[in-house]
Chains A and B, each alone.
Chain A
Amino acid sequence: MDVELDLTLPIGGREVRVALRSSAPSIAIVGPSGIGKTSLLRAIAGLSRGCRGKVQLRGTVLQDDASKILVPPHERRIGWVPQEAHLFPHLSVRENIAFAARAPSKTLDDELGITALGITALLDRAPSTLSGGERQRVAIARALACAPQTLLLDEPLVALDREARAQIAERIIEHCTTHDILRVVVAHDESDLTALAEQRFEMTERGHP
């Protein structure tokens, strides 16, 4: 199993149970807004304090309350692309990406395809001067730079225009295939989902995707 989740998440005062098993290299979580898709991604990243249960990705147990295992976020080898890019405002684009890089000396362009992501011209700019779409591209490059084993994408293409969407999705898939990175995607747009994920799970009111 590539993904094995059995979690109870506290979401807006109620508890939502999520049980999911998949062997696909990329999965999508779909469902109405407010159901807890982002909370699920946060739990996988180790950022949700109140979540209980088990998270196992590619055979590595990241959380298992029964065995008292809880790997902290910074040791999970996860690249998280949040819906609002959350770039570090005091660092330039280049520094944002370098912050994540595990091997600082590696040439960013070759490894990440900075050119393909269309951010070459942005490297020396401050995040506050970027458009929403540009921020999203940088957030993707930054997440890829940390050499993740799993990429969590929360509406990764939503800030981009139609044309850019296909291009960026292609770049993400290419990088993930080359580096054998598992993808977990949350998206509303049908074509984004089709582009980025092979298997989809629906979160329903009962909470079982």
Chain B
Amino acid sequence: MSPLVLSLVIACASALIGMPPAIALGWVLARRTFRGKTLLSALVLAPLVLPPVVTGLLLLRLLGRRGAFGPVLEGIGVSVPFTTLGAVIAALVVGLPLYVIAARTAFEGVDPRLEEVASTLGASPLRVLTRITLPLAWPGLLAGAVLAFARALGEFGATAVLAGDVPGETRTIALAVYAALEAPRGEPDALRLSLLSVGLSVLALVFHELLLARHVRRAGRRA
């Protein structure tokens, strides 16, 4: 696969796979009070401030062949290092904090009194979640997915450590730019890929802004 296609595939996959955990964590952080919430929040946000290379190294220690879960993964025939799966995992983990923050904000934007009214009308907690909370938070959740997608497009450090630079497998646009810069007279190629990267990212962020504006309009509507 070309770096462009590979970037899009990895970014889409990480945004999709990251959705359930991001929504669950965002909801828990927005709506629940419990001991250890601050620690959970800090752990989820850590990849945002850690050098991506460090995140990549920690992931390698967990999921690499000699990592903590390496033998288990090998037992079920799953290989993470130097594979597209590894690149997806790296992008997912690095993008998750932004995703969770967006989901948390989306849930916090839903008036809890609407959920209360729904419950007095006989709706079970699950029905309240699926019919009231999720539909109202949806534009914000989707904005989070787009942000995670955009972050995944730009991911370099963790991917390089966990998944390496395998053309066709893990060489995304970011890694291809680096490879081009390393190659003799590769700068024009690097520049071309960089422009592509800028275009894609701006496009994703514009879409993100549009979704966010819609969420603000929707949540701000008093009824």
A90 and B136 contact, CB distance less than 8 A: yes
A135 and B223 contact, CB distance less than 8 A: yes
The minimal Cβ–Cβ distance linking A146 to chain B, given in whole angstroms, is 5
A142 and B119 contact, CB distance less than 8 A: no
A47 and B116 contact, CB distance less than 8 A: yes
B122 and A128 contact, CB distance less than 8 A: no
- Interface flag for A89 (CB, 8 Å): yes
| Selected contact of A74 from candidates B114, B122, B136, CB within 8 Å | B122
A45 and B120 contact, CB distance less than 8 A: yes
**Given the complex of chains A and B, what is the CA–CA distance between A34 and B222 in angstroms?**
23
A128 and B124 contact, CB distance less than 8 A: no
Task: Provide the main secondary structure of the chain B interface.
Answer: helix
| Selected contact of B223 from candidates A42, A77, A87, A102, CB within 8 Å | A87
- Interface flag for B218 (CB, 8 Å): yes
Closest B residue to A87 by beta carbon equals: B223
A89 and B223 contact, CB distance less than 8 A: yes
**Given the complex of chains A and B, what is the CA–CA distance between A122 and B114 in angstroms?**
20
**Chain B proximity mask over A82-108: 1 for CB below 8 Å, otherwise 0:** 101111111000000001101000000
Contacts known (A86-B114, A89-B136, A90-B135); A79 close to B223, Cβ less than 8 A: no
Counting chain B residues whose Cβ lies within 8 A of the other chain, the interface size class is 20 to 34
- Interface flag for B113 (CB, 8 Å): yes
**Given the complex of chains A and B, what is the CA–CA distance between A126 and B125 in angstroms?**
24
- Interface flag for A127 (CB, 8 Å): yes
B136 and A79 contact, CB distance less than 8 A: no
**Given the complex of chains A and B, what is the CA–CA distance between A80 and B119 in angstroms?**
10
- Interface flag for A72 (CB, 8 Å): yes
The residues in B between 171 and 223 inclusive whose CB is less than 8 angstroms from any CB of A are: 218, 221-223
**Given the complex of chains A and B, what is the CA–CA distance between A43 and B77 in angstroms?**
55
* Chain B residues, Cβ within 8 Å of A130: 223
A82 and B121 contact, CB distance less than 8 A: no
* Chain A residues, Cβ within 8 Å of B114: 86, 88-89
- Interface flag for A181 (CB, 8 Å): no
- Interface flag for B117 (CB, 8 Å): yes
A85 and B223 contact, CB distance less than 8 A: yes
**Chain B proximity mask over A145-183: 1 for CB below 8 Å, otherwise 0:** 110000010000000000000000000000000000000
B120 and A79 contact, CB distance less than 8 A: yes
Contacts known (A82-B113, A86-B113); A128 close to B221, Cβ less than 8 A: yes
- Interface flag for A73 (CB, 8 Å): yes
B113 and A100 contact, CB distance less than 8 A: no
- Interface flag for A143 (CB, 8 Å): yes
B121 and A142 contact, CB distance less than 8 A: yes
Closest B residue to A126 by beta carbon equals: B223
The residues in B between 129 and 150 inclusive whose CB is less than 8 angstroms from any CB of A are: 131-132, 135-136
**Given the complex of chains A and B, what is the CA–CA distance between A100 and B128 in angstroms?**
11
- Interface flag for B4 (CB, 8 Å): no
- Interface flag for B53 (CB, 8 Å): no
A78 and B120 contact, CB distance less than 8 A: yes
**Given the complex of chains A and B, what is the CA–CA distance between A43 and B122 in angstroms?**
16
**Given the complex of chains A and B, what is the CA–CA distance between A70 and B118 in angstroms?**
18
Contacts known (A86-B111, A86-B113); A80 close to B120, Cβ less than 8 A: yes
Give the 9 A-B CB pairs with smallest separation, nearest first: A127-B223, A100-B121, A80-B120, A73-B119, A89-B223, A87-B223, A146-B121, A74-B119, A128-B221
A residues adjacent to B (C-beta < 8 A)? 42, 45-47, 72-80, 82, 84-90, 99-100, 102, 126-128, 130, 135, 142-143, 145-146, 152
B residues adjacent to A (C-beta < 8 A)? 111, 113-114, 116-125, 128, 131-132, 135-136, 218, 221-223
| Contacts beyond the supplied A84-B222, A146-B120: 13 A-B pairs with Cβ under 8 Å | A47-B116, A47-B119, A72-B119, A79-B120, A87-B223, A88-B223, A89-B136, A89-B221, A89-B222, A90-B135, A90-B218, A100-B122, A126-B223
